[in-house]
Amino acid sequence: MNALMLALMIFGGLVSATLAANKQRNVVAWLIVGALMPLISIVAIACLPSLAPLEDEREVY
């Protein structure tokens, strides 16, 4: 049972961190949150918008 819990923590942390990186969010924070609460964190980061500026909002010099 302990190996299953550890595998779930690692998987949840990695998935959350990967989604956070794609959305320009704090990877370390989401890795920790994902390891502690895997399912909740994956749903939460999936619902959050990206912090990257949109094409229209980028300044052109």
- In this prediction, residue 56 carries a pLDDT of 63
61 or 37, higher pLDDT: 37
CA distance linking residue 23 with residue 43, whole number of Å: 14
pLDDT digits 0-9 by tens, 13-52: 999 999 999 999 999 999 999 999 999 999 999 999 998 7
Res. 1 pLDDT band, cuts 50 70 90: confident
Q: Tokens 């052109």, residue?
A: 60
